[in-house]
Structure 1
Amino acid sequence: MPTNSNGNDEPGPSVKDDELYEKLRDEGNSKEKSARIANAAASSSRSEVGSRGGSSPAYEDWTVEELRERASELEVEGRSSMTKDELIDALREH
């Protein structure tokens, strides 16, 4: 695992549930997504976090313009030249 700015392997002081964060990172989730989920779980319970997820249509149902707007919000690089499938992959990996 890469070291943080403090020079150690800890995820950082902003992560409230280190164990869950590490599990999510091991599963291949991004640092940002892992921290967001771990912190949400620490604020309530792990089972509540999974059950209260939002309802949004699948990325495949979005238009390319909608996907680019979301990619822009997340600052995905190269989004303007990506195909719909590439945008979907980039958003899922973010």
Structure 2
Amino acid sequence: MSKDHAPSIKDPDLYETLRDKGYSEEKAARISNAKANPDMHPSEKGGKAPPYEDWTKAELYERAQEIGIDGRSKMTKAELIDALRSH
């Protein structure tokens, strides 16, 4: 029988199983709650983003700005792609 958990745990049995396997409380809660939600599929990969080569230089620059890549204003499109991939 599973322990009494906060109401935020949607599948307490799975939560306990994951905790017994050594998962952190946070990770066990995320996985058990996602599995309990029929609209979520935690074992499947997320959406597919187009490859950086298909992005415009402005889009690449904006993404580089979001993650704080230094020197981005002087980079070519190819350099931005390399910097984003290595970050």
TM-score (norm 1): 0.47
Aligned to 2:45: 52
Q: Percent of pairs identical after alignment?
A: 57
Structure 1 residue 70 and structure 2 residue 43: aligned? Answer: no
CA distance in 1, matches of 2:30, 2:55: 31
Residue deviations 1:14-69 (CA, integer Å, cap 9, x gap): xxxxxxxxxxxxxxxxxxxxxxxxx97x943xx82xx3232111100000000000
Runs of at least 5 residues in structure 2 that lack an aligned partner in the other structure:
1-25, 32-41
Runs of at least 5 residues in structure 1 that lack an aligned partner in the other structure:
1-38
Greater relative contact order, per chain length (Cα 8 Å cut-off, separation 6+): 1
CA distance in 2, matches of 1:89, 1:54: 22
Structure 1 stretches of at least 4 aligned residues deviating more than 6 Å after TM superposition: none
CA distance in 1, matches of 2:30, 2:85: 24
CA distance in 1, matches of 2:30, 2:83: 28
Structure 1 residue 81 and structure 2 residue 74: aligned? Answer: yes
User: SS of 1:55's equivalent?
Assistant: coil
CA distance in 1, matches of 2:46, 2:30: 15
- What RMSD over aligned residues (CA atoms) do the two structures have, in Å? 2.6
CA drift of 1:87 comes to: 0.3
Match for 2:75: what amino acid? M
CA distance in 2, matches of 1:76, 1:85: 14
Q: How many residues align?
A: 53
